[in-house]
């Protein structure tokens, strides 16, 4: 009990200059605003409409139909709220609204890339949603209790750690440590190569020893991070490892997390030290943007203040704050329940977006038991034409007939066959719209043929077909 009290006092209740949290919050909001602005300028409205497989939250709220004007307006509102939230005195209302607007646009974006008949929702935006929600809790705590200690930083770091701990925990529980044998990673790489051929993916898949080392190293990083994430400098080494990991998944597997997910990593920077640095040009810019010009009747300006802290009370701008019993209350009422929900989802295996246990690729298979199923036109069970481009990354060239028909499961599974039949029936309706006839709509199975743990060739076989 004594050691627990010392742990909480050191990492959660230690006095901390509130401007450190302001520095982190505003930096994250500025980076998020740039990402949202990029989405606003780049997303074409053509793909919007009735979402075929919306995330459960949108389906429950009856928001499966997306109007392009409303979607763009909410994106613009999110961008504006990021800028408004730079002023701390507005955070009690601006941050909750930012959370709701970003939650909606994220749900729409993730629904648009969600494969048909799939229960999976990408985790690429979870951390940013949690960070916005945590910033809202910190704003409420400051409004009600005036002083808050270091607990928002500690809770934020543990939230990031939950993402990776949950991913490793689900792999170990579901596969009994077999995920680290290297064969599962080989299978993931081979199936990705079959769908979207890339030389670097095939090269890595052929290196079984390296795949095993990478698998063991990843599980170690993900499991251990939760135990060191509250240290000052050591977590930065793990963060570097996670950055390399996400770069690798993007380069080899086209799994992109860097746009939003990695923004949460900035919470591990030494904000207490950075908050003592005076950056005059930025301070002057922010004053001009958020403050009206001073009249000549106003008294002379006060001595220069630290960056991003112009709206803080004087007592909060000291390098250290005296401990306050309200620190305990704000953490126990707000921070602790938040952490219990995040880690409760991991241990109870709850997957209800945006809540998640992060069970990504939590299966164990050999490369030869994993297959890709591709939609094609067929005659007499022979391939005539693929119904999406040879490279999955080029699907925008023919979006009508792009189907992400990829199953990383045992090929003799009854569930797999049921889902394949649903895909074929779905494709038949689209084929009728495009007046495709005089042939058969079919799914062809692609598997790899190995020799000495390296891909020797690929095997193509007719799996299931429907007459048009």
Closest alpha carbon to 201 in 212, 192, 211, 210: 192
340, 422: one domain: no
Domain hosting 438: range is 370-467
Model confidence at 94: pLDDT above 60: yes
Model confidence at 154: pLDDT above 90: yes
Model confidence at 288: pLDDT above 70: no
Contacts of 428 (CB under 8 A, 6+ apart): 441, 466, 468
In a domain? residue 358: no
290, 436: one domain: no
In a domain? residue 42: yes
Better pLDDT: 379 or 221: 221
333, 377: one domain: no
In a domain? residue 318: no
389, 330: one domain: no
Number of domains in the chain: 2
- pLDDT tens, residue by residue, 397-444: 444 444 444 444 444 555 666 777 777 776 676 666 656 665 677 778
Residue 28's Cβ-count burial label (10 Å; 0-12, 13-18, 19+) is buried
148, 80: one domain: yes
29, 137: one domain: yes
Cα 164 to Cα 110, 159, 192, 225, 241: the distances in Å are 20, 9, 22, 8, 12
In a domain? residue 364: no
How many CB atoms are located within 10 Å of the residue 207 CB? 17
Better pLDDT: 378 or 57: 57
pTM over 0.85: no
Model confidence at 325: pLDDT above 60: no
Closest alpha carbon to 82 in 104, 97, 65: 97
Model confidence at 362: pLDDT above 50: yes
In the predicted model, what is the mean pLDDT of residues 3-24? Answer: 76
Contacts of 341 (CB under 8 A, 6+ apart): 355
Helix, strand and coil in the chain, % to nearest 5: 60, 10, 30
335, 377: one domain: no
The CA distance from 180 to 167, in Å, is: 13
How many residues would you count in the chain? 468
In a domain? residue 270: yes
Model confidence at 313: pLDDT above 50: no
In a domain? residue 31: yes
Please give the pLDDT value at position 120.
83
Better pLDDT: 113 or 355: 355
């Amino acid at each position: 009990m004594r050691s627990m009290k010392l742990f909480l006092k050191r990492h959660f209740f230690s006095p901390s200059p509130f401007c450190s949290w302001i520095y982190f919050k505003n930096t994250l909001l500025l980076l998020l605003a740039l990402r949202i602005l990029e989405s606003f300028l780049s997303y074409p409205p053509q793909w919007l409409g009735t979402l075929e497989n919306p995330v459960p939250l949108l389906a429950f709220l009856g928001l499966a139909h997306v109007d392009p004007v409303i979607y763009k307006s909410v994106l613009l509102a999110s961008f504006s709220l990021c800028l408004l939230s730079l002023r701390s005195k507005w955070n009690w209302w601006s941050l909750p609204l930012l959370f709701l607007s970003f939650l909606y646009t994220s749900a729409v974006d993730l629904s648009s890339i969600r494969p048909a008949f799939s229960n999976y929702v990408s985790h690429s935006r979870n951390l940013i949603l949690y960070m916005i929600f945590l910033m809202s809790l910190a704003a409420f705590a400051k409004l009600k209790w005036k002083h808050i200690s270091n607990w928002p930083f500690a809770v934020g770091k543990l939230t990031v750690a939950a993402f990776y701990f949950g991913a490793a925990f689900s792999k170990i529980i579901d596969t009994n440590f077999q995920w680290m044998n290297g064969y599962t990673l080989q299978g993931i790489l081979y199936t990705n190569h079959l769908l979207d051929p890339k030389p670097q993916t095939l090269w890595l898949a052929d290196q079984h020893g390296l795949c095993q080392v990478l698998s063991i190293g990843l599980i170690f990083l993900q499991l251990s991070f939760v135990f060191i994430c509250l240290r000052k400098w050591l977590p930065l080494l793990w963060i570097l490892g996670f950055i390399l990991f996400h770069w690798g998944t993007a380069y080899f597997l086209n799994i992109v997390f860097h746009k939003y997910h990695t923004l949460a990593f900035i919470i591990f920077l030494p904000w207490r030290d950075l908050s003592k640095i005076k950056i005059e040009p930025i301070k002057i810019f922010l004053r001009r943007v958020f403050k009206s010009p001073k009249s000549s009747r106003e008294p002379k300006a006060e001595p220069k203040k630290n960056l991003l802290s112009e709206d803080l009370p004087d007592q909060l701008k000291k390098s250290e704050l005296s401990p306050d019993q309200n620190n305990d209350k704000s953490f126990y009422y707000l921070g602790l329940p938040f952490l219990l929900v995040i880690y409760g989802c991991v241990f109870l295996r709850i997957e209800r977006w945006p809540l998640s246990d992060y069970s990504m690729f939590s299966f164990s298979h050999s490369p030869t038991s994993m297959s890709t199923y591709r939609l094609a036109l067929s005659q007499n069970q022979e391939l005539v034409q693929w119904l999406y481009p040879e490279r999955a990354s080029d699907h925008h060239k023919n979006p009508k007939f792009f189907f992400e028909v990829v199953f990383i499961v045992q090929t003799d599974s009854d569930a797999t066959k049921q889902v394949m039949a649903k895909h074929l029936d779905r494709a038949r309706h689209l084929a009728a719209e495009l007046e495709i006839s005089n042939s058969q709509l079919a799914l062809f199975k692609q598997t790899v043929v190995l020799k000495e743990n390296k891909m020797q060739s690929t095997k193509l076989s007719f799996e299931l077909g429907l007459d048009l």
